[in-house]
A = this chain, B = another copy of it.
Amino acid sequence: MARARLRDLGILIGRYPPGEHNAITDVPGVLVGHKTLIYDEPFVVRTGVTVVIPRDGNIAKDYAFAGWDALNGFGEMTGLLMMEEFGHLTSPVALTNTSQVGLVRDALAHFGAERHGGAFKIAVVAETYDGWLSDSDALPLTQRDVYDAIEAASSGPVQEGNVGGGTGMICHEFKGGIGTASRIVEGPGGPYVIGALVQANHGDRYTLRVDGVPVGREIGIECVPSPWSAPPKAGSIIVILATDAPLVAVQCKRLARRAAIGMARAGGLALDSSGDIFLAFATGNHYPHDARELVDLKHFPFRRFDPLIEASAEAVEEAILNALTAAETMVGQKARMAHALPLDQLQAIMARYRPG
């Protein structure tokens, strides 16, 4: 059965409408690029890098506002201290594997040095672990791969599943990877877009829920053939939330924290060995990197903030599920096989659990 997006299967999450592409790229100026490495020689490699680039690439000179949260900290995202201190996002955000988060970080910094006059010194790069499918000793990524992902970045529809940083990931004991979704909310000066992109590598099968339905428990562990003998139950998830609403830093942090809601509704628990790290940025305000005079901002009113909260939770929940419905079964190193979420079973279960 061909892979699909959740919404195309007739399964709708929440009450806010999605944007045009139901993707983080619905936020104006947000670009996404992937570089995917899949090959078997000399090492079995199933990895890559995904970049999320705000402001059509002009983030080096025109900072966005940002905040983050970590529901469980067994993971890495560089650049967190600077985001906390200044409330700004000053670089693209890259997602990759654990072993080479440093390489990607330096590459992103070097890209900023070469192309943007020394920017991106404190670059934001996060990781989840793909060493079950991909040989993590291979260290296959190069600076060139990171540049490729940046240069490939575009607006419009976003590839999901086994691409970029999500290539070798496992989610709720199915094949995971990259997923995205978006929501439109009303607000003063709006409407605004809330977009989410996840690199989903977390969760056990039993707790997976789709719109509240216990899909993971229903499918069970036994339904899939070997060699799915000992897949990783608890990995990590990175969530990037973006909006064009004019938020200040503390408001971005609020959105980042709501990623936990979306993850929980899909069955995530933030297990012990998980790195559940959430970043939210807002492009509606502008901070010139070299500002020496007072900068004009707009402050979104808190009394109208609730739709942004709910839409963030919805977008994250759907982005995770999109990663699952998009990702295809993959065979990796040592003949390990990560099974895709079977869409026919998914729909059969949903039908049973939904009143006629």
Interface positions of A (Cβ within 8 A of B): 15, 70-87, 98-107, 109-110, 113, 121-122, 125, 129, 136-137, 139, 188-189, 206-207, 209, 211-214, 234, 246, 248-250, 254, 257-258, 260-261, 264-265, 268-273, 275, 277, 287, 290-306, 309-310, 313, 352-355
Contacts and interface: CB of A to CB of B under 8 A. Distances in A.
A72 B101 contact: no
A273 B234 CA distance: 33
B309 A301 contact: no
14 contacts: A72-B85, A72-B254, A74-B122, A75-B122, A77-B81, A81-B277, A86-B250, A121-B129, A248-B297, A269-B313, A294-B300, A294-B301, A295-B298, A353-B353
A296 B296 contact: yes
Given A81-B277, A82-B74, A207-B310, A287 B299 contact: yes
B71 A257 contact: yes
B82 A75 contact: yes
Contacts of A306: 234, 269, 271-272
Contacts of A213: 212
A82 to B, nearest CB: 5
A313 B206 CA distance: 14
A59 B312 CA distance: 31
Contacts of A290: 303
A83 B109 CA distance: 24
Contact of A250 (B75, B100, B249, B295): B249
A102 B104 contact: yes
A309 B287 CA distance: 21
Contacts of A295: 298-299, 301
A84 B84 CA distance: 12
B81 A302 contact: no
B99 A102 contact: no
A136 B84 CA distance: 25
Nearest to A291: B301
A288 to B, nearest CB: 9
Contacts of A304: 292
A273 B298 CA distance: 21
A305 B292 CA distance: 10
Nearest to A246: B294
A116 B94 CA distance: 28
A138 to B, nearest CB: 11
* Residue from A76, A102, A309 with most neighbouring chain B CB atoms (10 Å): A102
A85 B70 contact: yes
Given A105-B102, A110-B99, A299-B287, A294 B85 contact: no
A73 B85 contact: yes
A101 B102 contact: yes
A269 B264 contact: no
Nearest to A285: B299
A250 B85 contact: yes
Contacts of A310: 207, 269, 271
A73 B178 CA distance: 30
A95 to B, nearest CB: 15
B272 A303 contact: yes
A290 to B, nearest CB: 7
Nearest to A234: B306
